[in-house]
Structure 1
Amino acid sequence: MESIKNFKSCPVQYVLHINDTLNVISGKWKLPIIGSILFGKKRFTEIQRNISKITPRMLSKELKELELNGMVIRKVYDSTPVAVEYELSESGKLITEVLDKMIEWGIEHRTSVLSRT
């Protein structure tokens, strides 16, 4: 795997890889879904309860996209009724560092903006 230093010297490659990342995690719901599953395996209804205002249809769509992109693992248990759990893949767990940095930035940014008013 190439070093990020190589991409920082080429704006075109840097932007290309930013877009690659955004294609996986962009949208209103993907990061909240990942954040919900980050704390352990969850069933569909648990995820939905954690994210206010997400519809079942949208949650299903976003989970399928996250699964296709290798971020989420869907496990179906042969029971009555059928149980389905979602968990982060190894790649999905790696995004924790990104989310932690986003949260740190968000807190600092909000504090800065509020201190100006």
Structure 2
Amino acid sequence: MELTNVLKDEKDEAQDECNDWIIPVKDALDALHGRWKIPILISVSFGKKRFSQIAAEVSGITDKSLSKELKELEANQLISRTVVESFPPRVDYCITGHGRSLKNVITELRDWGRLHRQTMFGKR
């Protein structure tokens, strides 16, 4: 085999290996992108919540943003939305099994965030 073919094969192999990392990470970031999705997931991970409860726990989010983020999280099967037949009707949100699979990721982000805050601002 010629040297140019060997180098090309190695380059293709390295690119494939790189893509094996980039593509799934990009998929995860696409599902979790934005400022509010992870805080919303944290909120509903402590039990089923109504819209107003999530809004109170996720400080600073507008109703419009919360509504949009909840729809996207539901579309990605990370939360479920249940309409409870009552008067007036009630809607509950809770984390799904797929959403719970992010527990270790969110825990690592929390731990890294604490370390980063300490690195940037000193002990707090």
Task: Give the TM-score category using the shorter length.
Answer: 0.7 to 0.9
Q: Distance in 1 between matches of 2:121 and 2:68?
A: 36
| 1:43 and 2:53 are equivalent in the alignment | no
Question: Does residue 65 of structure 1 match 2:54?
Answer: no
Shift of 1:14: 0.5
Instruction: Map 1:77-116 to 2 at 5 A.
Output: 77-115=84-122
Deviations 1:18-66 (A, max 9, x none): 1100111110110111011111100000000011221111111110000
Q: In percent, how many aligned pairs have the same letter?
A: 37
Distance 1:12 1:73 in 2: 31
Which of these residues, 15, 28, 35, is aligned with residue 21 of structure 1?
28
TM-score (norm 1): 0.86
Q: How many equivalent pairs are there?
A: 107
Amino acid of the structure 2 residue aligned with 1:22: L
TM-score (norm 2): 0.82
Structure 1 unaligned regions, length at least 5? 1-8
Aligned-pair RMSD on alpha carbons?
1.3
